[in-house]
A and B are shown apart, each in its own frame.
Chain A
Amino acid sequence: MKRLVERSAEGLIKACGFASALTVLLIVFFLFKEGISFLNSSPVEDHHALFVHSGNPVTQLEEGQIKDLFDKKINHWKQLTDYGHPVVLLTANDLERLFTPEQLGNNLEYLSACVAHYIDTVPGTLAYFSERQLSLSPAIRIVPVPNISLWKFLSGRQWFPTAQPAAMMGTLPLILGTLLVSLLAILIALPLGLAAAIYLAEIADPRMRNILKPVIELLSGIPSVVYGFFGLVVIVPFIQNLFGLPVGETALAGSLLLAIMALPTIITVSEDAIRTCPIAVKEASLALGASHWQTIFRVILPYASSGITAAAILGIGRAVGETMAVLMVTGNAALMPTSLTQPVRTIPATIAAELGEASFGGLHFKALFALGCLLFLITLATNLLVERTTSKSRKS
């Protein structure tokens, strides 16, 4: 009977283990399935295309050129190709202005003819229409837009996922922003956290420890939105005044806030690691004449190094994946980060801010999943890296 209970308990635990492993795998599979389907799709909306006069020699248009054309930064075809006409833009919004309802027909049945005629008479036209609305005629042709490649996705410097007619999905500023904010956060948090952990484990008297430890653990229970609000109201103006900046929402503000948020994890985990150092080892060190400080730095810390590394990994994980707090204090401008006192946009903040409004299954939606894949790979890489270095140091 007892055996049966034990066995079923064992089976249950095993099932739990498999279930959670399976969940993780399923999430990763789902993420990559959605994310990868994004690559090699067209940046132009489904069933839409750019039309020009058939005499226009332009071979293809990149997203950046399309954006400049529609922002009226490129005004003349000469800037792109050997074609001597100024650029005239034509979209569905211009129809009412150019044609009467009679010309277009009740159900827009004459739309094709109207647009074709217009392009024929204005040779510099660049028209953006649905392929269903506009049938091809000898006077007009479609300009091909190259698909989004992995290289363009990773190295593009402009993030305009909702730009019309062609979305710009350059994630380089987002990747660099995420790395900058989290690395700086861990650089601030790790020494501070380690110092606090050593103090708590080795130096503080028990009464002090009994007060400090619960307070620090309480910090990790604060919701990240509350941290974000605190950052926006306290840290952001503080940084703005300290450096005399025009704007306080900066990478530095995000890093400081993330450092504060990562502290409890780092302190608790590394303190636990430090406390696992056997008393015999400590006493041996002291008996050999080493001072308390020497014991801490030469004996206890090396002994606890794997635990401290785990603390660092958890801290980095928290920093890289943190969403809400960063969203509120970093300003979210998708600029290439050049200094710490400049707004940045991170990957998690981008996903959180944009996913709610993106149309389900659309290009933007898939691009956000691809960003999720990137984030996953970044955390995976940091974890592997740290794991590697610690296993090496443990051997030596």
Chain B
Amino acid sequence: MIMKNSLLFTALCLLGYACGGPGSSATKSITVKGSDTVLPVAQKTAESFMAANPGVSITVVGGGSGTGLTALMDGNTDIAMSSRDLKADEKLKLQDKQIEFEIKTLAVDALAVIVHPSNPVQRLTREQLEGIFTGSITNWKDLGGEDAPIVVYSRENSSGTYEFFKEHVMDKKNYASSVLNMPATGAIVQSISQTTGAIGYIGFAYMTPEVKPLEVSYDQGQTFVGPSMESAKDKSYPISRPLYYLYDVKNAEKVAAYMDYVLSAEGQQIVEQVGYIPLSK
């Protein structure tokens, strides 16, 4: 009986899928797809843009930078959100397909290096961070802390944040195999808040009082700067990255109004509300 039911169910699902294709709508609709880091900005700006322009409907979908860029190449989305630049193989694919992308920076994200609040360590140099994440420094006592093993948390290897941190903090060296990969930034915050020896990195927008940000030095320990809106704006905080919107050049007219809105003073105010650093004019 169960078997027959499940067969029937499968058949119904197939039938439903076959009939319920994507519907077309009369209003002008724009799809924005990609990076989960950019997602909150896209959602907020889309909401207020739609409120001001009733004729336009904007659909915002997450899924990751790679998903968005693939969808853009296949023409399944109008705008791709990305927290990283195009990869070499993606650029080659664009060349082959003869598509040209326009790439626009819409905000800047600062990455905070965080530890458990009870950790006495306040500041680290880039070289020390490199040592921690590549696995050559494994105990807090080498960094002026207590005699306890360091538990390193990172994002998944497919995430734009992972690549950015590798390129700009770890001198392009690979992460140690023992690094714990978490599926989401929220999970990193949760884990670090309950693990005393933990260290990790998160987008500045995700900062909470349950974790402690470290001051970072990029000049061998002469000046240390902590992550804050001010230090990111005046570019004294070294670990920050641009967030992108990409669209097909042929599609420029369709998305122009929304793109202008995101880059306008009003749009940039939303960027700041969400917790990212607006573009300085």
Contact = CB atoms under 8 A, between A and B. Distances in A.
Are the chains A and B members of one assembly? Answer: yes
A343 B177 contact: no
A132 B148 CA distance: 50
Contacts of A354: 156-158
B180 A356 contact: no
B4 A356 contact: no
Interface string A125-146: 0000010100000000000000
A236 B194 contact: yes
A71 B170 CA distance: 10
B174 A357 contact: no
Contacts of A360: 66, 70, 73-74
Given A237-B194, A248-B195, A356 B89 contact: no
A333 B7 contact: no
Interface stretch (A42-50, A213-221, A371-379): A42-50
Nearest to B148: A246
A249 B180 contact: yes
A246 B116 CA distance: 12
Interface string B62-87: 01111101100110000000000001
Given A328-B182, A328-B187, 7 more contacts: A16-B11, A71-B134, A130-B88, A247-B198, A333-B177, A335-B177, A345-B181
A233 interface: yes
A356 B63 contact: yes
B105 interface: no
Contacts of B173: 70-72
A13 interface: yes
Interface of A: 13, 15-17, 19-20, 23, 45-48, 67, 70-72, 93, 130, 132, 158-164, 173, 232-233, 236-237, 240, 246-249, 327-328, 331-335, 343, 345, 349, 352-360, 362, 364
A72 B171 CA distance: 10
Interface in B153-185: 156-160, 162-163, 172-175, 177-183
Contacts of B148: 246
B210 interface: no
Contact of B191 (A17, A173, A236): A236
A155 to B, nearest CB: 16
A246 B10 contact: no
B61 to A, nearest CB: 11
B8 interface: yes
A232 B134 contact: no
Interface in B135-152: 148-149, 151
B187 A359 contact: no
A322 to B, nearest CB: 14
B180 A71 contact: no
B99 interface: no
Given A248-B195, A357-B64, A333 B10 contact: no
Contacts of B190: 232-233
A333 B194 contact: no
Instruction: Rank and list the top 4 A-B pairs by shortest CB-CB distance, nearest first.
Output: A357-B158, A356-B64, A357-B66, A332-B181
Contacts of A70: 172-174
A232 B173 CA distance: 30
Contact of B7 (A16, A93, A158): A16
Nearest to B134: A71
B90 interface: yes
Nearest to B8: A16
A71 B173 CA distance: 5
B197 interface: yes
A349 B10 CA distance: 25
B14 interface: yes
Given A48-B88, A332-B180, A333-B177, A13 B191 contact: no
Nearest to B11: A16
Contacts of A93: 172
Interface string B101-140: 0000000000000000000000000000000001000000
Given A246-B151, A357-B66, A359-B89, A334 B182 contact: no
B92 interface: yes
Given A70-B172, A236-B194, A331-B181, A357 B134 contact: no
Contacts of B151: 246-247
B10 A232 contact: no
Contacts of A328: 182-183, 187
Contacts of A249: 180, 191
Contacts of A19: 10-11, 14
A359 B74 CA distance: 12
Contacts of A246: 148-149, 151, 195, 197
Contacts of A362: 89
A48 B92 CA distance: 11
A17 B67 CA distance: 34
Given A71-B173, A358-B66, A17 B7 contact: yes
